[in-house]
Amino acid sequence: MHTDVHGSRESRRIALTFDDGPDPDRTPALLDTLAALGAPATFFLLGRAVEKNPELAARIAREGHEIGNHTYNHRYLPLQRSSSVARELAEADATIARATGVVPTLARPPYGGRSPFTVRAFARAGKRVVLWDLNSFD
């Protein structure tokens, strides 16, 4: 369904991704650790969490991490209408852009849930859908 679960297998690299933030209790320590290791990551941010923690979202961007859209409310998208999916993405984009100056081009559907209809809604919003191939189940 036009989703990416991994990058090129030609190079020996991993991508660290974190969802559902920014979280005021966990994200600062995570950012400190990534900085100490010199490790970039991708943060798939929730619009509602960015709304509550705009300074933390700004720090993620300022420290050079990639930012992705994880929707505004973290709903299970295959049960939503395409117009609702589009609204979730647009609201998250607007909130993330206000806080960070970045409009994400990457997006990850909550729970990895997608259908052909939701994937088309992501494409219409100009998003590259990124999933994962290894989950920490945290």
**56-82 core/surface letters (b: 16 or more CB in 10 A; e: else):** bbbbbbeeebbbbbbbbebbebeebee
CA distance 47 to 75: 12
Position 7 confidence tier, pLDDT thresholds 50, 70, 90 = low
Choice among 9-18, 50-59, 79-88, 93-102 with the minimum mean pLDDT: 9-18
Model pTM score: 0.92
Q: Looking at residues 99-120, what average pLDDT do you find? A: 95
Residue 1 pLDDT > 60, yes or no? no
